[in-house]
Amino acid sequence: MDAGSNSISSQKSGSRRAAAQRPPFQEAGSRPYMPPLSTGSRNPSAKCYGDRFIPERSAMDMDLAHYLLTEPRKGKENPAAVASPAKEAYRKLLAEKLLNNRTRILAFRNKPPEPENMLTDLRSDAVQAKPAKQRRHIPQSSERTLDAPELADDYYLNLLDWGSSNVLSIALGSTVYLWDASSGSTSELVTVDDDYGPVTSVSWAPDGRHIAVGLNSSDVQLWDTTSNRLLRTLRGVHELRVGSLAWNNSILTTGGMDGKIVNNDVRIRNNVVQTYHGHEQEVCGLKWSGSGQQLASGGNDNLLHIWDVSMSSSVQSAGRTQWLHRLQDHLAAVKALAWCPFQSNLLASGGGGGDRCIKFWNTHTGACLNSVDTGSQVCALLWNKKEKELLSSHGFTQNQLTLWKYPSMVKMAELNGHTSRVLFMAQSPDGCTVASAAADETLRFWTVFGTPEVAPKAAAKASHTGIFNSFNHIR
């Protein structure tokens, strides 16, 4: 209960105590005269209030009081005697002119103070109270569904991303496609040769202009999407395919099937600046924290590592980089990773088909805060940027998206539509729309996190969903 309710309760209880202490008024003449309680100045203009208000004879008109007390009694004692209309009219006129319609018998020396404004406070509190927040409508079906032919049914890849400039990228086979939500245009960024493809990962740089493309050949390409130009190719960083990418300002972190995690400074010629060793199998999940100080990595070896930038080693160092935390609670591959936007040291992770759990971690201490068995493979995780909610995508048996309330982890909604496991999810820059890509070769859009808070709303909606009005398939 808030402080305002406590004050109101105390006022009520105080009023009840005062009422219990104050004796009820008795009929005039049934008690002896009692002097006023006030012992202060006799100045009539002085305000003095006691805890009781007693009639004062000096302020009374005794004749009027006697008349008002006895006049009604005469009629009651003689009910048979009926006054004539003339007498009744005379009596009313006399009361109006002479008695000035005075009907009170008791008079008080001091006017009682105004009652406490308890009701007024209640009304003002009710007016000033914030209106109850309306429950957000969560659509149970996708807003739009597009064909995505040749989308790889591979749990360990990362083939979908939504950049800060509101352009969605998706890799289908050996081709990367782009959709510009501002102009509604679609384009093909690159189709790699069979010797290098297929594409195994895509990730937008923070500027929303440059994009990294990981390949099956272990190469990583950097593209400028405004000029559709290949800027450089990172070779020799990994020995096998690069299935996960993550940006930290100008540092591109790559994770490969060889188990290595490498930080690449894309501004310099010798791009490899730091290496993390800890995974024995393919690295399938990489996410930098919002502060850029910690990196989470998940692998097919069922391990989750938390790395700190201050503990990384250079390539030239003979020693192996020491992780900050090595977390072994998951029982299957760890791909789904999501840093909490409202608590910097909170990380959510999801396990594969043999684990099926979403776990929450305090990355400062390495403690597992909670674990929830979802009943199916966890493929991807996304936090709501405006509310304490988490969205998860799943595989067999329902292939659904589930919205959870954090920290209670109560299911708020289940979004169905995909007919195969939902491998990838990406969030729009405004945080409202989520794109999901599944092994059923469809791309679906869900307004699961609300509507954009920009004016006009109609234009905002068109900028995020109307981009697909001119076509119904990807290529």
**Please, are residues 401 and 411 in contact by the beta-carbon 8 Å criterion?**
no
Domain assignment present for residue 292? The answer is: yes
Give me the pLDDT at residue 342, please.
Answer: 96
Radius of gyration of the chain (CA): 39
Give me the pLDDT at residue 132, please.
Answer: 62
Domain assignment present for residue 386? The answer is: yes
Domain assignment present for residue 391? The answer is: yes
Give me the pLDDT at residue 59, please.
Answer: 62
**Please, are residues 312 and 321 in contact by the beta-carbon 8 Å criterion?**
yes
Give me the pLDDT at residue 299, please.
Answer: 98
**Is a pLDDT exceeding 50 seen at residue 315?**
no
Closest CA to 386 of 337, 294, 453: 453
Return the higher-pLDDT residue of 139 and 81. Answer: 139
Give me the pLDDT at residue 108, please.
Answer: 54
Give the CA distances from residue 283 to residues 91, 240, 444, in Å, rounded to whole numbers and listed in that order.
104, 11, 27
Return the higher-pLDDT residue of 392 and 464. Answer: 392
Give me the pLDDT at residue 86, please.
Answer: 79
Number of domains in the chain: 1
* pTM, to two decimals: 0.69
Angle among Cα 156, 160, 163 to the nearest 5 degrees reads: 135
Give me the pLDDT at residue 43, please.
Answer: 52
Summarize the confidence of residues 429-435 as an average pLDDT. Answer: 95
Return the higher-pLDDT residue of 397 and 452. Answer: 397
Token pair for 19: 């009422």
Give the CA distances from residue 284 to residues 160, 249, 379, 471, in Å, rounded to whole numbers and listed in that order.
14, 21, 11, 32
132-139 contacts at long range (C-beta below 8 A, 24 or more positions apart): 136/450, 138/403, 138/412, 138/413, 138/448, 139/415, 139/446, 139/447, 139/448
Residues 347-366 pLDDT 10s: 999 999 999 999 999 999 99
Q: Judging by DSSP bridges, how do beta strands 229-234 and 346-351 pair with one another? A: unpaired
Summarize the confidence of residues 375-382 as an average pLDDT. Answer: 97
Return the higher-pLDDT residue of 396 and 248. Answer: 248
Domain assignment present for residue 118? The answer is: no
Domain assignment present for residue 240? The answer is: yes
Give me the pLDDT at residue 475, please.
Answer: 46
Q: How far apart are CA 59 and CA 331, in angstroms?
A: 91
**Is a pLDDT exceeding 60 seen at residue 41?**
no
Give the CA distances from residue 265 to residues 118, 251, 254, 258, 269, in Å, rounded to whole numbers and listed in that order.
67, 5, 11, 20, 8
Domain assignment present for residue 101? The answer is: no
**Is a pLDDT exceeding 70 seen at residue 447?**
yes
Lowest mean pLDDT among 2-16, 91-105, 411-425, 432-446: 2-16
Summarize the confidence of residues 400-423 as an average pLDDT. Answer: 97
Give me the pLDDT at residue 26, please.
Answer: 40
**40: left (phi > 0), else alpha (psi -120 to 50), else beta?**
beta
Q: How far apart are CA 377 and CA 250, in angstroms?
A: 33
User: Residue 90: pLDDT band by 50, 70, 90 thresholds?
Assistant: confident
Q: Classify 8 as helix, strand or coil.
A: helix
Residues 126-179 pLDDT 10s: 556 556 667 788 998 999 888 999 999 999 999 999 999 999 999 999 999 998
Residues 264-305 pLDDT 10s: 999 999 999 999 999 999 999 999 999 999 999 999 999 999
Q: How far apart are CA 79 and CA 344, in angstroms?
A: 88
Residues 236-256 pLDDT 10s: 999 999 999 999 999 999 999
Domain assignment present for residue 90? The answer is: no
Give me the pLDDT at residue 71, please.
Answer: 63
Instruction: Report percent pLDDT > 90 for the chain.
Output: 59
Return the higher-pLDDT residue of 338 and 5. Answer: 338
Residues 451-472 pLDDT 10s: 876 534 433 333 443 333 333 4
Return the higher-pLDDT residue of 319 and 468. Answer: 319
Domain assignment present for residue 62? The answer is: no
Q: How far apart are CA 263 and CA 295, in angstroms?
A: 11
- Which residue is listed with tokens 């088909």? 353
Give me the pLDDT at residue 151, please.
Answer: 96
Range of the domain at 309: 144-446
Q: Classify 185 as helix, strand or coil.
A: strand
**Is a pLDDT exceeding 70 seen at residue 24?**
no
Give me the pLDDT at residue 186, please.
Answer: 83
Mean pLDDT score of the chain = 81
Summarize the confidence of residues 96-123 as an average pLDDT. Answer: 59
Give me the pLDDT at residue 361, please.
Answer: 98
CATH number at 186 reads 2.130.10.10
Give me the pLDDT at residue 214, please.
Answer: 98
User: Residue 435: pLDDT band by 50, 70, 90 thresholds?
Assistant: very high
